[in-house]
């Protein structure tokens, strides 16, 4: 399917794809596929005001009715799954199955959020005062800003939007400048759901296109009480303090430098399959990609030998080809960052296997994944490079391995391969992994929406999806009702007049 066919199938018109100031290029072949119109900073005032107006209407709609809109969105996503997935491949360079998987994740979160719409539970609290009842309830916050990254161009929006909408909040989405078309396509899909819903307020879902100045308008506005931002640690270090300074709430999903510990008892065949997918899937451009492999000395040579054999056989190329497992890096800058990291690894004592340019459609940046054996956890190992680079290091004791895993600034995802029950439980204990996600006998990449997603330290501390992530989009209110004829004070205080 050609680039033009993908866009046509999603209902894009020539007017939407031409005449704008933002050039959109496909990482598949570097071809310019659109010139889209950017939102101006001056327009952001009206965008945010429109979201506030939508909030005043939407917050009074019963939550199960709000859930109906998200149910319809899920239906529309099912109907458009293959077309939207093809656009993810076109614009982000993901292989076909990963594009389809990302849209399936959107469908899954819609299903999840519909259930949550009937479970926005509060509490009834025992009061110490006779004739009093106390309750804790949850209420909508207001417009939610969503700033997303190129590597999951549609799923991240859905994680936030599905929950925000059932919680009573409008959504303003600023996608990555590298992937605006997927956002515009999602807005078209949402608009079909809104038409079927019938009586939702205008401007409940809005998309704004542009660079840092557009994102900054969301970050700085007191009328956007919740700001979810996915991206680099550098970006989060700017966004978080600015949102906090105006007393807003941020949900930050930032960098990851994820490790796997391979213990002496590990099933190496299973570990190899998990390592390869986690390290090279999406060309190493996931925040949950495996970047550090910490292997017990007794199995290191065996495991590295198996990995080199597997790496040498991986098909790299056009992501639209069903046989391809590794598509392109998103742009030339990513390729340059990968080569710079490999050069630094060599300077710091590393032995590099792979990492050379690979064949693919002309104009795209295709590379062989790299396996780098390191003498220790040097500076470059502690730095997250968004590319298919896997650093391999050794350990003797589990305590040593866990300390090495935790000795990086990021704290997103982690895992251990072991058949030893004691080792598995130590890894999952308070003295084990310090990450938001900790797995046993499964890689760090590929989270399900039923569990809270996010991490600690420089990963930002935010959580999306999962059982209680909806609370991030709502405000808590404690209420006390006195149904007696007396006025006792708490803690036995006497104040008679």
Instruction: Check: CB of residue 474 under 8 Å from CB of residue 119.
Output: no
CATH for the stretch 258-440: 3.40.309.10
Instruction: Check: CB of residue 139 under 8 Å from CB of residue 106.
Output: no
Name the residue with tokens 């998987």.
101
Q: Residue 1's pLDDT is what?
A: 84
CA neighbor of 67 nearest in space, from 118, 109, 106, 107: 118
CA neighbor of 152 nearest in space, from 106, 212, 215, 190: 106
User: So where are the chain's domains?
Assistant: 3-254+460-478, 258-440
Q: What's the longest Cα–Cα distance across the chain?
A: 87
Q: Residue 446's pLDDT is what?
A: 83
DSSP conformational letter for 491: G
Tens-level pLDDT at each residue, the chain (497 residues): 899 999 999 999 999 999 999 999 999 999 999 999 999 999 999 999 999 999 999 999 999 999 999 999 999 999 999 999 999 999 999 999 999 999 999 999 999 999 999 999 999 999 999 999 999 999 999 999 999 999 999 999 999 999 999 999 999 999 999 999 999 999 999 999 999 999 999 999 999 999 999 999 999 999 999 999 999 999 999 999 999 999 999 999 999 999 999 999 999 999 999 999 999 999 999 999 999 999 999 999 999 999 999 999 999 999 999 999 999 999 999 999 999 999 999 999 999 999 999 999 999 999 999 999 999 999 999 999 999 999 999 999 999 999 999 999 999 999 999 999 999 999 999 999 999 999 999 999 988 999 999 999 999 999 999 989 999 999 999 999 999 999 999 999 999 88
pTM over 0.95: yes
User: C-alpha dihedral over 232, 233, 236, 238, to 10 degrees?
Assistant: -110
The Cα 29–Cα 365 span in angstroms is: 8
| Residue of 91, 253, 373, 384 marked active site | 253
Q: Which structure tokens are listed for 339?
A: 């080569």
Q: Give catalytic status of residue 253 as yes or no.
A: yes
Dihedral sign for Cα atoms in the order 239, 245, 248, 252: positive
Mode of pairing for the β-strands spanning 144-147 and 171-174: parallel
- What is 18-82 written as a DSSP string? SS-SEEEE-TTT--EEEEEPPPPHHHHHHHHHHHHHHHHHHTTS-HHHHHHHHHHHHHHHHHTHH
List C-alpha distances in Å: 153 to 140, 249, 286, 314.
Answer: 26, 23, 11, 25
Instruction: Check: CB of residue 308 under 8 Å from CB of residue 279.
Output: no
What count of other Cβ atoms lies within 10 Å of the Cβ of residue 478? 11
The angle formed by the CA atoms of residues 246, 184 and 23, to the nearest 5 degrees, is: 95
Class of CATH domain 3-254+460-478: alpha beta
* Bridge partners for 134 per DSSP: 125, 480
Helices (H) and strands (E) in the chain, counts: 16, 19
């Amino acid at each position: 399917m050609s680039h033009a066919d993908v866009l046509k199938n999603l209902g894009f018109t020539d007017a939407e794809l031409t005449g704008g100031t933002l050039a959109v290029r496909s990482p598949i072949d570097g071809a310019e596929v659109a010139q889209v119109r950017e939102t101006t900073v001056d327009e952001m005032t009206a965008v945010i005001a429109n979201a506030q107006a939508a909030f005043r209407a939407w917050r009074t709609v019963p939550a199960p009715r709000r859930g109906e809109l998200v149910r319809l969105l899920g239906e529309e996503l099912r109907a458009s799954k293959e077309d939207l997935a093809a656009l993810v491949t076109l614009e982000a360079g993901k292989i076909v199955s990963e594009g389809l998987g990302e849209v399936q994740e959107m469908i899954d979160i819609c299903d999840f959020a519909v259930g949550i719409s009937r479970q926005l539970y509060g509490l009834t609290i025992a009061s110490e005062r006779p004739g009093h009842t106390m309750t804790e309830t949850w209420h909508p916050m207001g417009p939610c800003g969503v700033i997303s990254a190129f590597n999951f161009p549609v799923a991240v929006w859905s994680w936030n939007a599905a929950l925000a909408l059932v919680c009573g909040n409008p959504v303003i989405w600023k996608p990555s400048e590298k992937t605006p078309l997927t956002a515009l396509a999602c807005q078209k899909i949402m608009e079909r759901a809104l038409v079927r819903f019938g009586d939702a307020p205008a401007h409940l879902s809005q998309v704004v296109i542009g660079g840092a100045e557009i994102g900054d308008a969301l970050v700085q506005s007191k009328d956007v009480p919740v700001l979810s931002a996915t991206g680099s640690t550098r970006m989060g270090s700017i966004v978080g303090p600015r949102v906090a300074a105006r007393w807003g709430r941020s949900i930050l999903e930032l960098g990851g430098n994820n490790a796997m510990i391979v213990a002496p008892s590990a099933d190496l065949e299973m570990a190899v399959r998990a390592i390869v997918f986690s390290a090279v899937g999406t060309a190493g451009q996931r925040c949950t990609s495996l970047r550090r492999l910490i292997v017990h000395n007794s199995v290191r040579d065996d495991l590295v030998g198996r990995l080199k054999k597997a790496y040498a056989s991986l098909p790299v190329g056009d992501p639209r080809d069903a046989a391809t497992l590794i598509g392109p890096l998103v742009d030339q800058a990513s390729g340059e960052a990968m080569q710079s990291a490999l050069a630094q690894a060599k300077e710091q004592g590393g032995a590099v296997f792979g990492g050379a340019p690979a064949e693919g459609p002309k104009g795209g940046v295709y590379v062989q994944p790299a396996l780098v054996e390191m003498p220790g956890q040097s500076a470059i190992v502690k730095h997250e490079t968004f590319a298919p680079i896997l650093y391999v290091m050794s350990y003797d004791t589990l305590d040593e391995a866990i300390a090495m895993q935790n000795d990086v600034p990021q704290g997103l995802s982690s895992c251990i391969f072991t058949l030893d029950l004691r080792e598995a439980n130590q890894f999952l204990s308070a003295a084990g992994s310090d990450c938001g996600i900790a797995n046993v006998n499964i890689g760090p990449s590929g989270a399900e929406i039923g569990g809270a997603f996010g991490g600690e330290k420089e990963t930002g501390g935010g959580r999306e999806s999962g059982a209680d992530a909806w609370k991030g989009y709502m405000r808590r209110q404690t209420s006390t009702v006195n149904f007696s004829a007396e006025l006792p004070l708490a803690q036995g205080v006497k104040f008679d007049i």
